Amino acid sequence: MLNELELTGRTRTHIVQFSEPRFATQPEAAEAFLDMRAEARRSGIDLLPYSSFRDFRTQLRIWNGKFSGQKPLYDLEGRPRDYSSLSPSEIISCILNWSALPGGSRHQWGTEIDVIDAAAMPSDYVPKLLPEETAPGGIFSDLHHWLDANIEAYGFFRPYKYFKGGMYPEPWHLSYAPLSMPALQLVTVELLADVIREADMLGKELVLEQLPNILRAHITNIVLPGE
C-alpha cells in the first residue's frame, strides 16, 4: 500500500527506473508492461512508454504553465482554447479536462503509462498525445486496435477510455489495475488539501474551494476495468 508521500508523488520510493525502454513504475506494473510489450512486438508493434511516473513537482509545473497561459489548453477535439476569454474557474476546468491536479495525478502512483507505437512513427515524428493520432487513419490507430484486444490480459485498462464528464478521453493512458484501483481508494479531499496548501500553485484558493467536486468529477470519475 502506498504511503501519503508516494500517493501524491512527493517521493520515488515506490518506483523502479528502467532504461530500455525508459520508464518508471512500480515493479509489478513494470513486469506486466514488459510482458505485454514483448507480445506486441510479435504483431509488429513497438509498444513504447511515452510518459510514466510523474512526480508532484512536474505535475505542478504543468499546472502552473497552463494556468498562466504559457502552455495551451485544449477542447474535447484537441483544438486550442482561447485562454484570454476564460475566467479563472473556466481555466481550472479546462486544465482538468486534460491534465490532473497536482497531488491527484494517477501518474504519481507508479501504475500509469502513456504509450505510443515507435514502429509507426517516422524518425522525425514528435507524438502529440491528441485524439487525431488514435482516430481511424491516425498514426497510432493500429496500436489501439491491438490494445483493445490485449491490455486486459496483462492487467491494464484505460481509465479515460471515453468521456464520462471529467477527463477527456485518453486512449493512450494505460493503468495497471491490481495496483491503481487500491491506490484510488486512498485519495481523499483532506490529503489533497494538505498537499496543495503547501504548494506554490496558481489558482490555489479557488482549487481548494472546488476540491470535493474535483475529486468526484476528475479523479474518482473513471472508466472502470471491464466497463
Distances, alpha carbon 161 to alpha carbons 4, 34, 225, in Å? 27, 22, 10
50 closest CA partner among 104, 110, 127, 140: 127
| Mean pLDDT computed over every residue of the chain | 96
Q: Is the pLDDT of residue 28 over 90?
A: yes
Tell me the average pLDDT across 27-56.
98
| CATH of the domain spanning 4-219 | 3.30.1380.10
What pLDDT shows up at residue 78?
82
211 closest CA partner among 97, 96, 58: 96
d(CA 60, CA 46): 31
Tell me the average pLDDT across 111-118.
98
Tell me the average pLDDT across 15-29.
97
Tell me the average pLDDT across 149-173.
95
d(CA 149, CA 168): 22
Question: pLDDT for 174-220, tens place per residue?
Answer: 999 999 999 999 999 999 999 999 999 999 999 999 999 999 999 99
What pLDDT shows up at residue 122?
96
C-beta neighbour count of 144 within 10 angstroms: 20
What pLDDT shows up at residue 76?
83
* Residue 93, CA atoms < 13 Å, CB-side half-sphere: 10
Cβ-count burial of 204 within 10 angstroms (0-12 exposed, 13-18 middle, 19+ buried)? middle
Q: Is the pLDDT of residue 77 over 90?
A: no
Q: What percent of the chain has pLDDT over 70?
A: 100
Q: Is the pLDDT of residue 102 over 90?
A: yes
C-beta neighbour count of 166 within 10 angstroms: 17
Confidence category of residue 166, pLDDT binned at 50, 70, 90: confident
Alpha carbon 31 to its chain's center: 19
